[in-house]
Amino acid sequence: MCGRFVKKSSKEELRKRFGFDDSLGGVMLEPRYNIAPSQEHPVLILNQDRRLLRMMKWGLVPHWSRDPKIGYKMINARSEGIEEKPSFSGPLKKKRCLVIADGFYEWHKPDKKTKIPYYFSLKSGEPFAFAGLWDLWEKGDEPLYTFTIITTSPNELMEPVHNRMPVILSESDEARWLDPEITDSKDVLSLLKPYNAEEMECFKVSTIVNSPKNDVPECLIPAN
């Protein structure tokens, strides 16, 4: 699931919504229409009480990994049992992050041959945050920052299309997700639930979104 998303809000819109004071050099906030695993994306973390954005690669590589290729398999983390997974238990305590987005795609596969892409977003049109985890790998030539997006069961809107959905945090939960003082896993895990379907919408889109090479606005054109 959740192997593509969109970030089209401007830097000003995002700053207003998420209140980051600063951003590291190299943070790119150009609109994106087809963000795929292994690509760089701005991720919001808390650094000494300040919200800051940093570019990270999608596909979590645990800091102890021998081979960073493991990241190709770590684009999502199931919320169920997440605290028991060696790759995620550490980051769940101290490396929680917000993955900012405006929407995401999911493919409905009614049978083996059919694949229909849908675009999901908030009815408000506002950007939102996926619940994410990040880590830093330093066994290569360069420091490697990576992240993963947590998944849960689908809400009523997504259920007909797919059996999983990414965790979208309600705005009031975002600060708690980032708060390093909250270490009790019960408190943290209580935030990982399906988003309110009433506040979301979706529609079919063109299959041009199927190729991750097509990072173009046409990905969002409604289809039949």
Partner DNA sequence: CCAGACGTTGTT
Partner DNA sequence: GTCTGG
Q: Which of 16, 50, 69, 94 binds DNA (CB under 7 A)?
A: 69
Q: Which of 35, 30, 28, 19 is nearest to 103 (CA)?
A: 35
Q: Is 171 a catalytic residue?
A: no
Q: How many residues does the chain have?
A: 224
Q: Which of 210, 203, 133, 135 is nearest to 167 (CA)?
A: 133
Q: How far is the CB of 68 from DNA (least distance, A)?
A: 10
Token pair 């021998």 in the structure block, residue: 66
Site string for DNA, 134-173 (x = CB under 7 A): -----------------x----------xxx---------
For position 84 contacting DNA by CB under 7 A, the verdict is yes
Token pair 């906030």 in the structure block, residue: 29
Q: Which of 88, 118, 145, 147 binds DNA (CB under 7 A)?
A: 88
Q: Per residue in 91-107, is it b (16+ CB within 10 Å) or e — as a string?
A: bbbebbbbbbbbbbbbb
Q: Which amino acid is at 121?
A: S
For position 8 contacting DNA by CB under 7 A, the verdict is no
For position 94 contacting DNA by CB under 7 A, the verdict is no
Whether the CB-CB separation of 207 and 117 falls below 8 Å is answered with yes
Comparison of 17 and 68: residue with beta carbon closer to DNA:
68
Residues binding DNA: number (CB under 7 A): 44
Give the binding site for DNA (CB under 7 A): 1-4, 36-39, 59, 62-66, 69, 72-78, 81-82, 84-90, 107, 109, 112, 115, 151, 162-164, 207, 210-213
Provide the annotated active-site residues.
2, 106
